[in-house]
A and B are shown apart, each in its own frame.
Chain A
């Protein structure tokens, strides 16, 4: 008996690895290591702008964007009509989530590299976006994996806006991924860019660094490195409970990694932990988490079915719809949204909802809360 139990506990520990969400200045550092002739990729944040003190592997962290308008402390913008920005792949007026090149007090990703001066070969780079001689370091886009509910083709783009207002596009997936989807930085440079995403969801952006060595002009290229971006409330929740490639698999909306009968979507909807098995219903009147509580209550002398549950406030753009429904038969077509509800605010993100059936509980009534993940949100 003991052995399987030990194994089970280990399994739970392994599942509980969650990514840290970085909501501050962060640099993606591609550094060449001459001693081992290898590259590494580390994210650095905290500390100061040029010397971030906390170091993390790319698969242990995620970079979130809030699904709130840019004018309301969020990262959601609207695609401008200008043809100069068509590269983002978003339709004019559609939402576009952007982690910006200038600090706005939230996730602020850039590139940096720290090398012994003179490590990289200085050469003339004829790419029209730079067209100069310098000790170039190239960061190539290898692939973008999207995980989310959006229909169509979610796109990723990376650009800077120059002093004259025109964008320089470094990477854009809307026209496919090719050899020009790359960013050129230089030895020991630290720079920031606009990171654009056209849909809510998790984006796993894979990049590869390369340069030429000053010592012998040889070409040195790193391995593929993947950085995770979590766009919107649900994606950020997934990234706080899973990390790396697990966000896509174990962290899928319909996965149930803790095998407790509730998919991640329900765990998200009802404020429970997707890595801790639990089938507890929320406490009547005071609960802040748990499965919906369904019971018969005597209200005004009549027995009525009530369903009580916690709900993410619509102001947080949770990307889910809660539909409390009642039925007398459990038949597929018999579920009806009905009854009267009372809502109690819990905090900035949560409220408690109690819905009372509009029909007497006798002879039998059933209640459920249907949770649907939206492909997009009408703001």
Chain B
């Protein structure tokens, strides 16, 4: 009886998490870009997920991938995928002390995480006289409210970080990534607390004919919080079931 009840609880918790996610495409693995396009005189900001990327637990099979409005695709990092902040002051920008956990969407592919790039490859380089500037103007969401810091950086060939955006010293005009029309770049996108992050960016560029163009967009990211005690109970039930099943198989 008890096992049955736990199994039901587990099912219920799964259903709840699905319901809460239904408004957004949950992106848990594969390549996608925070993209800059241009349409009828306006910058078109979007999220472009590539073929094979995992959304709502299913791989995208369309050879053109899938496109979402900013914030409609939610890249997630599981709680367990934290890294310990390395020692050394070059890593102070994270905003936590050495050894503390940070959660990072990495610049190099990890098959278990979204592989997030910045892409302006839909745009012809000749149409834009300067690179795009993607400036962070705001950070909200439960992760930020809990004191979580946000940073965007690259490590070079020998591992030294170059920081483009970091909120440890506040949000300033210096918190920006630049990207040439036609370009594509991958960065490490880091967080220091579980929760949702809503990062608002101001994107500017100069079209050679249409002049200066700008737009704002809010992209969402989530460091999935540690399972709550309720969910832990459900998981424990699942494990118990599994163990029983295995035992019966062996015997």
Contact = CB atoms under 8 A, between A and B. Distances in A.
A117 B55 CA distance: 13
A130 B52 contact: no
Contacts of B31: 50, 189-190
Interface string A170-195: 00000000000000011111111110
Interface string A211-228: 000000000000000000
Interface residues of B, number: 41
A164 B101 CA distance: 11
B158 A85 contact: yes
Interface string B180-223: 00111110101000000000000000000000000000000000
A191 B109 contact: yes
Contacts of A89: none
A263 interface: no
Contact of A163 (B59, B155, B183, B184): B155
Given A50-B31, A80-B158, A98-B157, 5 more contacts: A49-B119, A49-B121, A163-B107, A163-B108, A166-B86
A85 B160 CA distance: 13
A187 B52 contact: yes
Question: 9 closest A-B pairs (Cβ-Cβ)?
Answer: A188-B52, A165-B159, A49-B184, A134-B111, A48-B121, A163-B188, A163-B104, A160-B108, A117-B61
Given A49-B121, A117-B60, A161-B156, A191 B108 contact: yes
A118 to B, nearest CB: 7
A237 B213 CA distance: 43
A315 interface: no
A101 interface: yes
Contacts of A245: none
Most buried by A among B31, B117, B122, B157: B157
Contacts of A188: 30, 50-52
Nearest to B122: A48
Contacts of A114: 51
Interface in A1-43: 25
A50 B106 contact: no
30 contacts: A48-B122, A48-B182, A49-B183, A50-B184, A80-B158, A100-B156, A102-B154, A102-B185, A102-B186, A103-B185, A117-B59, A132-B112, A161-B108, A161-B155, A161-B157, A162-B106, A162-B107, A163-B83, A163-B190, A165-B91, A165-B155, A165-B161, A166-B159, A168-B108, A185-B109, A186-B52, A188-B51, A188-B52, A192-B186, A193-B108
Nearest to B65: A50
B86 A164 contact: yes
B35 to A, nearest CB: 11
A161 B159 contact: yes
Given A49-B119, A165-B86, A189 B30 contact: yes
A77 B52 contact: no
B78 to A, nearest CB: 12
Contacts of B107: 101-102, 162-163
A323 interface: no
Interface in B9-54: 30-31, 50-52
A49 B188 CA distance: 18
Nearest to A98: B157
A193 B186 CA distance: 12
Nearest to A25: B184
A342 interface: no
A132 B122 CA distance: 33
A277 interface: no
A188 B52 CA distance: 6
Nearest to B104: A163
A153 interface: no
A143 interface: no
A158 to B, nearest CB: 12
Contact of A117 (B52, B90, B158): B52
B109 to A, nearest CB: 5
A337 interface: no
Contacts of A98: 157
Nearest to A108: B184
Contacts of A192: 108, 186
A77 B157 contact: yes
Most buried by A among B111, B112, B160: B111
A161 B158 contact: yes
Given A102-B186, A189-B52, A167 B60 contact: no
A299 interface: no
A244 B46 CA distance: 42
B207 to A, nearest CB: 19
Interface in B56-99: 59-61, 83-84, 86, 90-91
A286 interface: no
Nearest to A82: B158
A84 interface: yes
A165 B86 CA distance: 8
Interface in B136-166: 154-161
Contact of A130 (B51, B111, B157, B190): B111
A85 B184 CA distance: 27
Nearest to B158: A80
Contacts of A102: 107, 154, 156, 185-186
